[in-house]
A = this chain, B = another copy of it.
Amino acid sequence: MRGAVLHAPGDVRVEQRDDPTIVAPTDAVIRLAASCVCGSDLWPFRGIEAMNGPSPMGHEYAGVVEAVGGEVTSVKPGQFVVGSFVASDNTCEICRAGYQSSCVRREPMGALGAQAELLRVPLADGTLVATPDVPDDDLVPSLLAASDVLGTGWFGAVAAQAGPGKTVVVVGDGAVGLLGVLAARQLGAERIIAMSRHEQRQKLALEYGATDVVAERGDDGVARVKELTGGLGAHSVIEAVGTQESMTQAIRSTRPGGHLGYVGVAHDVALNGQELFFSHVHLHGGPAPVRQYLPHLLDLIWDRKIEPGKVFDLELPLDQAADAYRAMDERTAIKVLLRG
């Protein structure tokens, strides 16, 4: 099969890889309906995250089951399935508490390379959720988005306790931030302030339910949020970038006693303990336990109540994965869908 492999920072190639097979009796192999590039793929692409030799890329996936191991009982060949970017048994104590991405038997899907034609999924019973039927083609982008960016934005909104009566700020206008806006709207937030200076992203944020757009960043952005919230800051802040600047902005935008959900992968971030202490903020985040939300999110998509797939504003053939990385790196595309 063909699959994307990162050889060095900036050097993504689509090349021939071995077809995945059932290794453990709890595995499934799926044929991907589409694949895509994640903002977090840009960290190694930019050389910010260390690499250990050539790496298959991609951890978001949706497609049709081709084969299952002998112990798999919940999905079968022919079914269309979506899974999280972390495989989990969904039965351990941590999974049952809703933190499947910290499952005691977790396996990160990134190492397996989902920017490809086929993918092995470990712990298939715990990881995969089937849709009622094979979906119409136009639903595929939204179902694929559920695998990571939608579930991640959703977790950010849940961790920020977005809900009725709340003012929510979203820091970051990538796919996760935009879907954080969508999630906050679905969760019933009263007011949603999207921080963005890109016209196209502002437009999608408004379409997804943002009530206000703030273009300022850093301390100016914080000052603008304070102005909009009676000087107090927001009840709920979703952080979807993962830099020192964005975390600082997010903390300072949250009112005392408010909730900050951070889902941008924190790179080289050091939080000032004293500032955090006196901020009185609730801080929660990490790798989103997408599996917890998948059944609900797939229902919303299947019933066409939400359309997270709109974050894909560019579609390319899998063979042009390198162009997809470049478009996202240069921010000319929000998120790129790769087909066949």
Contact = CB atoms under 8 A, between A and B. Distances in A.
Contacts of A126: none
A274 interface: yes
A255 B93 CA distance: 10
A271 B270 contact: yes
A13 to B, nearest CB: 28
B273 A270 contact: yes
Interface in A1-24: none
B284 A277 contact: no
Interface string A257-300: 10000100111111111101111111111110000000000000
A257 B287 contact: no
Nearest to A264: B277
Contacts of A268: 273-274
A215 interface: no
Chain A: number of interface residues, binned into ranges: 35 or more
Nearest to A280: B286
Interface stretch (A95-103, A113-121, A169-177, A219-227): A95-103
Given A93-B230, A97-B257, A98-B257, A277 B272 contact: no
Nearest to A99: B257
A247 interface: yes
Interface string A179-210: 00000000000000000000000000000000
Contacts of A280: 99, 101-102, 286-287
Nearest to A159: B282
A334 B285 CA distance: 36
A306 interface: no
Contact of A266 (B262, B269, B276): B276
Given A255-B94, A257-B94, A287 B278 contact: yes
- Where chain A touches its partner, the secondary structure class is mixed
A50 interface: no
A283 B284 contact: yes
Contacts of A283: 276, 282-284
A243 B231 CA distance: 31
A51 interface: no
A288 to B, nearest CB: 10
A277 B271 contact: no
Contacts of A276: 266, 271, 283, 286
Interface in A283-332: 283-287
A256 interface: yes
A274 B267 contact: yes
A43 B106 CA distance: 43
Q: Which 6 A-B pairs have the closest CB atoms?
A: A269-B273, A266-B273, A102-B256, A99-B257, A271-B271, A283-B283
Interface of A: 93-94, 97-99, 101-102, 104, 230-232, 242, 244, 247, 255-257, 262, 265-274, 276-287
Given A93-B230, A101-B280, A277-B286, 13 more contacts: A94-B232, A242-B277, A262-B277, A266-B273, A266-B276, A267-B274, A269-B273, A269-B274, A271-B273, A271-B276, A277-B287, A278-B287, A280-B287
